[in-house]
Amino acid sequence: MKTKFFFYLIIAFSLFYSCTKPMQNKVLIIGIDGCRPDALISASTPNIDKLWKNGAYSFHTKTDDISYSGSCWTGMLTGVWHAKHNVLSNKYLDPNIEEFPHFFNRVKTFNSNLKTYSITHWSPLHTILQNGDADIALDFDSDQKVTNEAVKVLLHNDVDAMFIHLDDVDHSGHSSGFHPENKEYLSTIENTDINVGKMISALKKRDHYLNENWLIIISTDHGGSEKTHGKNTPEHATIFYIVSGKSAAKGKIQTQVNIVDVAVSAMQHLGLDIKDEWNLDGKPIGLIH
Question: What residues line the site for Zn ion (CB under 5 A)?
Answer: 33-34, 69, 170, 221
Least Å from the CB of residue 153 to Zn ion: 23
**Inter-residue contact 141 to 168 (CB < 8 Å):** no
Q: Which is nearer to Zn ion, 150 or 259 (CB)?
A: 259
Q: Which is nearer to Zn ion, 160 or 167 (CB)?
A: 167
User: Parallel, antiparallel, or unpaired for β 116-120 and 136-139?
Assistant: parallel
Label residue 66 left, alpha or beta by phi (over 0 means left) and psi (-120 to 50 means alpha).
beta
Least Å from the CB of residue 229 to Zn ion: 7
Least Å from the CB of residue 80 to Zn ion: 18
Least Å from the CB of residue 276 to Zn ion: 31
Q: What is the DSSP string of 92-122?
A: -SS--TTTS--HHHHHHHH-TTS-EEEEESS
Q: What is d(CA 201, CA 15) in angstroms, rounded to the nearest whole number? A: 25
Least Å from the CB of residue 220 to Zn ion: 8
Q: Which is nearer to Zn ion, 193 or 221 (CB)?
A: 221
Q: Which is nearer to Zn ion, 170 or 193 (CB)?
A: 170
In this structure, the chain runs to a length of: 289
Q: What is d(CA 286, CA 243) in angstroms, rounded to the nearest whole number? A: 6
Q: Which is nearer to Zn ion, 45 or 69 (CB)?
A: 69
Sign of CA dihedral 108, 109, 112, 114: negative
Question: Residues with Cβ < 8 Å from 239, sequence gap 6 or more?
Answer: 35, 37, 61, 62, 63, 72, 219, 220, 221, 222, 223, 259
User: Parallel, antiparallel, or unpaired for β 161-166 and 238-244?
Assistant: unpaired
Q: What is d(CA 118, CA 27) in angstroms, rounded to the nearest whole number? A: 12
Q: Which is nearer to Zn ion, 24 or 127 (CB)?
A: 127
Least Å from the CB of residue 223 to Zn ion: 10
Q: Which is nearer to Zn ion, 69 or 219 (CB)?
A: 69
Q: What is d(CA 47, CA 200) in angstroms, rounded to the nearest whole number? A: 8
Least Å from the CB of residue 8 to Zn ion: 56
